Structure 1
Amino acid sequence: MTMLRRRLGIRGENIAAEYLKRKGLQIIERNFKCRLGEIDIIAREGNYLVFVEVRTRSSASCGLPQESITAAKIKKLRRLAQVYLALRPYKNLDVRFDVVALYCAGETTITHIENAF
């Protein structure tokens, strides 16, 4: 990954975290990593533990940010969530997977897809 793409990704994750906080979600953890991969943001909203995948684009040439989430990525995120739940004491919460898609060309636009998969 190029440094420019990494910076864009970090910027997108920061914007997404602030957006979710403004919506009332409590950010529990960011960039949870294990040998399987990484979960961008883990938050709590009421009785839900929300696993958030953040996708950021600076150009529409490759389509919408949310369109880049493949079936393989969804499967990986579900496995990562299982690992996280085995390691953390959030046993009585429902689980939800959200996507926050950001398009950062000029003014940033945010699309939040709750219960995306």
Structure 2
Amino acid sequence: MTPRELGCLGEDLAAKHLAALGWAVLERNVRLPGGEIDLVAREGDELVLVEVRTRSESRLQEASDTVGPEKLRRLVRAGRNYVARRRYDGFWRIDLLALDRTGSGWSVHHHRDITGGRYDG
């Protein structure tokens, strides 16, 4: 499986995971100045921009550990651009859904509000 195919599979699994939680997935792969947003979803009244990270069994680093300071800055920039272009003035946050391939399937780790509500990056 190519890295692109793995990423697409991870986004499909993440969208299904969020739908199973009762979230509405509004958009996928939104490209904006400053970056891309993998999934845009709504949890109740909150807009959630979701970064999806997927890793195969053979990787040394877990998916949760692959988002560093520069990626966070890009996510914040993309998030700001998204809400500005949509003229959205409500609460929004950035979540991380990390999927790691295991011998028996997929391990899903959901990290909520990975910027701690700070959008000054």
TM-score w.r.t. the length of structure 2 is: 0.87
Match of 2:21 in 1: 23
Shift in Å at residue 60 of structure 1? 5.5
Would you identify which runs of 4 or more consecutive aligned residues in structure 1 move more than 6 Å? none
What is the one-letter code of the residue matched to 1:17? A
Aligned alpha-carbon RMSD (Å): 1.4
Match of 2:118 in 1: none
Count of residues in Structure 1 that have an aligned counterpart in Structure 2: 114
Match of 2:108 in 1: 110
1:56-79: per-residue Cα shift (whole Å, max 9, x none)? 000264311010101010011001
Aligned residues: percent identity? Answer: 38
TM-score w.r.t. the length of structure 1 is: 0.90
Q: Which runs of 5+ in 1 are unaligned?
A: none
CA distance, structure 1, for counterparts of residue 6 and residue 45 of structure 2: 32
CA distance, structure 1, for counterparts of residue 54 and residue 27 of structure 2: 19
CA distance, structure 2, for counterparts of residue 96 and residue 26 of structure 1: 15
Shift in Å at residue 18 of structure 1? 0.5
